[in-house]
Structure 1
Amino acid sequence: MLNPINTDVVIRDGRVAGTFPGEIHEGVAWWVASCFVVTIKTRQLAVAHDGHPTTAEFHRRFCRGAINANHFACQISDLGAADEAQLLRAMKDLGDTPGALLTTTEDEDRQLVTIRLYDAQGQQVADETGLAAIRDMIAADRVPIPVNDQARGRIIDRRDLAGEA
């Protein structure tokens, strides 16, 4: 695994979070997204971010990881900058679609990047509902990769959904 992380520190308490740079890097977003799609076996996902400059690359990598998860051909509804309430509303409007929210908070000279995953009912994914499986896949370097180009999903701009919430 290139740039390994301490999965027990970064993936816990119902979220993926770590200081950047240091505990977490942009590649983690790809890994988490790919593992999430495969773990919950979804073909659709709503993704939002907080608009913070650091979050931008994590968001891009998350979307790319989700569309490249094995044979799922996952369609990403990219909401752009949105808060949790807007994400949850869009997930519902998309037909109870799972989702993810990426954020960055700053505290003095450090940044904390957080990825929160939500199931189709809008509940945060916890250890017992998939987070432990994702952590184990990443720790064992078993991040899913695409099987072929036809299995690749796509990213659709759905900022219109975030604005309606």
Structure 2
Amino acid sequence: MLNPIDSDAVIRDGCIAGAFPGEIHEGVAWWVGACFVVVHEARRLAVAYDGHPTTAAFHRRLCQGAINAQHFGCLVCDLGTADEDQLHRAMKHLGGVPGVFLSTADDGGRRTVSIRLYDALGQPVTEDTGIAKVRQMIAADQVPLPVNERAKGRITDRRDLVGAP
């Protein structure tokens, strides 16, 4: 694994979170995107972020990881900048797909990046519903790669869904 992390410290309590730089880096988002698609066997995924400049890099990497997850050919519906309520509405509008929300909190110069995962019902992913498996895959360096170019997914701009009732 290039640039390993302390997966037990960063992937816990139903969230992937850590100080940036230091505990977490943009590559973690790629790993999480790929592993989440595989664990939930997601063919579609809604992704949104808070618009923070630090979060933007994590957002791009997560989307890239999600489209590179084994044979799933995941269609990533990129909502761009949105809040969690808008993400949940879009997940429902898309027919009940899993979702990811990325955010950064600034606290006196310390930035903490968080990645929250939601199942197709809009419920936070917990230890029992996928976080433990994602952590295990990352810790064991079992990040899923696409089986071939045809198996690769794609990213589609769905900012049109932000603000939809």
% of aligned pairs identical?
A: 66
- Amino acid aligned to 1:110: R
Q: Aligned-pair distance for 1:163?
A: 2.5
- Counterpart-to-counterpart distance in 2, 1:37 and 1:43: 8
Is 1:161 the counterpart of 2:161? The answer is yes
Per-residue displacement from partner, 1:114-148 (whole Å, max 9, x unpaired)? Answer: 00000000000000000000000000000000111
- Amino acid aligned to 1:64: Q
2:41 alignment counterpart: 41
Aligned residues: 165
- Amino acid aligned to 2:145: I
Question: Unpaired runs of 5+ in structure 2?
Answer: none
What RMSD, in angstroms, separates the aligned Cα atoms of the two structures?
Answer: 0.5
Q: Aligned-pair distance for 1:109?
A: 1.3
Segments ≥4 residues shifted beyond 3 Å: none
Aligned partner of residue 36 in structure 2, secondary structure: helix
1:74 alignment counterpart: 74
- Counterpart-to-counterpart distance in 2, 1:120 and 1:90: 11
- Amino acid aligned to 2:63: C
Q: Aligned-pair distance for 1:46?
A: 0.2
1:142 alignment counterpart: 142
Alignment map for 1:120-135 (pairs within 5 Å): 120-135=120-135
Per-residue displacement from partner, 1:12-38 (whole Å, max 9, x unpaired)? Answer: 000000000000000000000100000
- Amino acid aligned to 2:22: G
- Counterpart-to-counterpart distance in 2, 1:77 and 1:163: 15
TM-score after normalising by structure 2: 0.99
